[in-house]
């Protein structure tokens, strides 16, 4: 089942109820409680999924519990948005337990990043849902009391029914730049590189045809980035994309620099020969300051301005 009809959620409004789920790894009760207070202070109600209180090794409860929470939150009339508590590992295990037909009939804001990438891809492709790559309660809301840039960018993306326009970096951050010149248009899909690669060969394999492929990563050495990008190249995913958006590659440094390529060398070796627009340094990923980027909507890489522009509204 692949939906072609796009489903957009309603804009988030003060007083709405936000459901928090834990589709991947668990978080501490302290971080959860701090995040709840921050969300309530922003003017929203909160409903907590059972998975947020469970712990099964490196997972926030069993696969059934984590999948049930997502299905239940989408089906519940009282919930307007669903925030994923954190990433880690585990979302790939529940992809075949999600009710994509029900989710398609009940479009809601779905927010997260990192391991949540697998669910973004599945919801975009199987439910036709516009989703949001952005901060998560246990990972970001408690970081220095949720920095203003990340908070403001998230609220703008979730509450405004106008196109977001240019995705900007905070003051003091390096500006985005073109690795390969040119402009390209398409709907955005992607997220965390290692999770994107993990979908290949499954019923949830990422479809990059005519899309803008966004990629970020954390804690992977250049040779591992090389391996994953090469897999995307050999599987045709890079060639299929209209353009590529590189975000934050946090702590992706070699342990032995004298025996390693740099990350820039890896990007040049694999991405430049594609001869299609590639922008790097866009403000999304695992760093404290991050933009919220709607996925499944039309966007443009503007080569002249070295900018990513969101050209379609993401919420109704």
Domain end call among 159, 187, 213: 159
Q: How many domains does the chain have?
A: 2
Nearest Cα to Cα of residue 271 among 157, 168, 193: 193
Domain end call among 127, 159, 191: 159
DSSP category for residue 19: E
Identify whether 114 is a catalytic site residue: yes
- Indicate which residue of 51, 104, 114, 194 is catalytic: 114
With respect to residue 50, please indicate whether it lies within any of the assigned structural domains. Answer: yes
The reply to whether 216 and 292 lie within a common domain is yes
What pLDDT sits at residue 213?
Answer: 99
* Whole-number Å distance between alpha carbons of 23 and 60: 7
Q: What CATH code is carried by the domain that includes residue 115?
A: 3.40.50.10740
Asked if 81 contacts 9 with a C-beta cutoff of 8 angstroms, the reply is yes
The reply to whether 174 and 141 lie within a common domain is no
The number of beta carbons lying within 10 Å of the beta carbon of residue 248 is 21
- Residue 308, φ and ψ in degrees, nearest 5: -105, 125
Identify whether 3 is a catalytic site residue: no
What pLDDT sits at residue 2?
Answer: 59
The reply to whether 131 and 194 lie within a common domain is no
With respect to residue 108, please indicate whether it lies within any of the assigned structural domains. Answer: yes
The reply to whether 138 and 236 lie within a common domain is no
- Indicate which residue of 25, 51, 217, 286 is catalytic: 286
* Whole-number Å distance between alpha carbons of 314 and 295: 8
The reply to whether 144 and 176 lie within a common domain is no
What pLDDT sits at residue 106?
Answer: 98
The reply to whether 183 and 90 lie within a common domain is no
What pLDDT sits at residue 205?
Answer: 98
What pLDDT sits at residue 142?
Answer: 78
What pLDDT sits at residue 146?
Answer: 86
Reading the chain (316 residues) residue by residue, the pLDDT tens digits are 555 579 999 999 999 999 999 999 999 999 999 999 999 999 999 999 999 999 999 999 999 999 999 999 999 999 999 999 999 999 999 999 999 999 999 999 999 999 999 999 999 999 999 999 999 999 999 766 689 999 999 999 999 999 999 999 999 999 999 999 999 999 999 999 999 999 999 999 999 999 999 999 999 999 999 999 999 999 999 999 999 999 999 999 999 999 999 999 999 999 999 999 999 999 999 999 999 999 999 999 999 999 999 999 999 9
What pLDDT sits at residue 103?
Answer: 98
Nearest Cα to Cα of residue 223 among 256, 271, 186: 256
With respect to residue 132, please indicate whether it lies within any of the assigned structural domains. Answer: yes
Give SS3 for 13: coil
The reply to whether 83 and 44 lie within a common domain is yes
- Residue 79, φ and ψ in degrees, nearest 5: -95, 130
With respect to residue 5, please indicate whether it lies within any of the assigned structural domains. Answer: no
* Whole-number Å distance between alpha carbons of 262 and 273: 17
The reply to whether 246 and 295 lie within a common domain is yes
With respect to residue 1, please indicate whether it lies within any of the assigned structural domains. Answer: no
Pairing mode of beta strands 184-192, 109-112 = unpaired
Domain around 241 = 165-310
Sign of CA dihedral 238, 166, 168, 286: negative
Q: What is the dihedral of CA 242, 155, 116, 294, to 10 degrees?
A: -20
With respect to residue 209, please indicate whether it lies within any of the assigned structural domains. Answer: yes
With respect to residue 139, please indicate whether it lies within any of the assigned structural domains. Answer: yes
What pLDDT sits at residue 1?
Answer: 54
With respect to residue 230, please indicate whether it lies within any of the assigned structural domains. Answer: yes
The reply to whether 257 and 213 lie within a common domain is yes
The reply to whether 71 and 137 lie within a common domain is yes
Q: What CATH code is carried by the domain that includes residue 304?
A: 3.50.30.60
The reply to whether 21 and 98 lie within a common domain is yes
The reply to whether 220 and 250 lie within a common domain is yes
Place of tokens 């585990």: 90
- Indicate which residue of 80, 133, 216, 220 is catalytic: 216
Domain end call among 159, 177, 207: 159
């Amino acid at each position: 089942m692949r939906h072609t009809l796009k489903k957009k959620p309603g804009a988030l409004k003060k007083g709405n109820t936000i459901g928090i789920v834990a589709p991947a790894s668990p978080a501490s009760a302290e971080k959860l409680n701090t995040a709840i207070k921050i969300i309530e202070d922003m003017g929203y109600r909160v409903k907590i999924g059972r998975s947020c209180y469970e712990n099964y090794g490196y997972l926030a409860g069993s696969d059934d519990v984590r999948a049930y929470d997502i299905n239940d939150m989408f089906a519940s009339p009282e919930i307007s948005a669903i925030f994923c508590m954190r990433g880690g590992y585990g979302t790939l295990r529940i992809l075949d337990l999600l009710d994509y037909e029900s989710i398609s009939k009940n479009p809601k804001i779905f927010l997260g990043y990192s391991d949540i990438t697998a669910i973004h891809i599945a919801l975009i492709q199987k439910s036709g849902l516009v989703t949001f790559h952005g901060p998560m309660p246990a990972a970001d809301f408690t970081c220095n009391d949720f920095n203003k840039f990340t908070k403001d960018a998230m609220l703008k993306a979730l509450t405004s029914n106008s196109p977001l326009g240019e995705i900007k970096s905070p003051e003091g951050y390096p500006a985005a730049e073109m690795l390969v010149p040119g402009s390209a248009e398409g709907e955005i899909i992607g997220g965390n590189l290692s999770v994107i690669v993990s979908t290949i060969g499954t019923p949830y394999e990422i479809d990059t045809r005519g899309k803008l492929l966004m990629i970020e990563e954390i804690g992977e050495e250049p040779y591992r980035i090389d391996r994953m990008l090469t897999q995307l190249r050999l599987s045709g995913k890079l060639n299929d994309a209209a353009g590529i958006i590189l975000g934050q590659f946090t702590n992706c440094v070699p342990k032995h620099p004298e025996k390693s390529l740099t990350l820039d060398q890896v990007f040049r070796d694999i991405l430049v020969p594609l001869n299609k627009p590639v922008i790097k340094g866009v403000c999304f990923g695992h760093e404290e300051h991050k933009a919220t980027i709607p996925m499944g909507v039309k966007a443009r890489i503007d080569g002249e301005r070295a900018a990513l522009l969101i050209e379609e509204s993401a919420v109704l």
